[in-house]
Amino acid sequence: MMIPNPPKLSESPRRLPFLPVIESLRGIASLMVCIFHIVYSTEGFVNHPVWKPFFYYFSYGVQVFFVISGVVIPLSLWNLHYNGSQIKSFLFRRIVRLEPPYLLSVLLTTLYFFLRNKVPGAGEENLIPSLRDFLLHIGYLVPFFQDAKWIQMSYWTLGVELQYYLAMSGLFLLLFHSRLIFRMPAYLLMFGSAFLIQNEFFVFASFPIFLLGISWVQNKSGIITQTERYLVSAFAAFSIYWIFTPEYCVISVLTIIVIDNFETFSSKITRFLGKISYSLYLTHSITGAVLLHFILDFIHISGYKALTAFISIAFALLIAFFYSKWIEEPFKKIASKY
């Protein structure tokens, strides 16, 4: 994209530091989604009128992830002195780092479904994906085809994230231009498409959530004033409320407030969770959730639900640790070389 008088990112811009709170929030968000799928999504596991709605709120870890990406991607592009010419290397690094662990989890999930069909009493529903649906997971193409289904429902967010990376590789130069006349078309495009295409499986509806993070980086980099940031954030919050739900709005705004006020927050637990967050996100449905179903269906200790849930979540964390160490980390190192 050619922008007249683009921001002079190559002339020693003020580099923005790594934020420890990002890693902490990433770990917390991943654990929230893990708990949601293991505890809430297991049919009949929690029926209490208070606890069931409580565990539903753990699904909002997804919105935390989106706000985090709203910060991390433009921050990375800013520190990269991005001017459009690095688009191939920017996208290549993310593909190398993220896609192999994702595609392996798709393969492992499909293999699990095949094995599940061989186990008596494991359930009558055939979860084995069609060849078309399996192949559509390459490139996150599932939402572009009618009646196509995700092998794991959590994969849809990864598709939205990829769409966001692609969008930012083009919109960054507008959003981080020093003149409002160039930033305004990007704002109008992102907010306008959010209201026109209110489908959560595409990035457009979630643009306001990402903008909460983007405007934070714009302000921190000195591109926009605090006033503009608050105006963009306020309209983003209104858009999230209108398009989604009040809960989406609250959790998204709270996330950026935490980032803004606790930039250096970190602990051993949150650092550990942050380190394995992507692996946990990819694998928990075929580790912790499967173990929980096995305990309920074959061991029959339903009277100890809290213990069963704890064991299942701990197992998911353990497998995510090894998945991160043996699968994710090697590809991170490869991506860092480019």
Q: Residue 2 falls within a domain, yes or no?
A: no
Q: Residue 151 falls within a domain, yes or no?
A: yes
**Residue 313: Cβ within 10 Å count:** 22
Q: Residue 49 falls within a domain, yes or no?
A: yes
Give the pLDDT band (50/70/90) at residue 293: confident
Distance CA 253, CA 249 (A): 6
Are 200 and 206 a contacting pair, CB within 8 Å? yes
Q: Residue 314 falls within a domain, yes or no?
A: yes
Q: Residue 299 falls within a domain, yes or no?
A: yes
Domain count, the chain: 1
Are 3 and 174 a contacting pair, CB within 8 Å? yes
- In this prediction the pTM is 0.94
Give the pLDDT band (50/70/90) at residue 123: low
Q: Residue 319 falls within a domain, yes or no?
A: yes
**Residue 322: Cβ within 10 Å count:** 12
Whether the pLDDT of residue 27 is over 60: the answer is: yes
* Residues of the domain holding 36: 20-336
Distance CA 193, CA 181 (A): 19
Give the pLDDT band (50/70/90) at residue 215: very high
Query: What's the token pair of residue 103?
Result: 């595609």
Q: Say which range, 163-167, 297-301, 321-325, has the weakest mean pLDDT.
A: 297-301
User: Which residues are within 8 A (CB) of 238 and not within 5 positions of it... i.e. 6 or more apart?
Assistant: none
**Residue 111: Cβ within 10 Å count:** 12
Q: Residue 15 falls within a domain, yes or no?
A: no
Q: Residue 1 falls within a domain, yes or no?
A: no
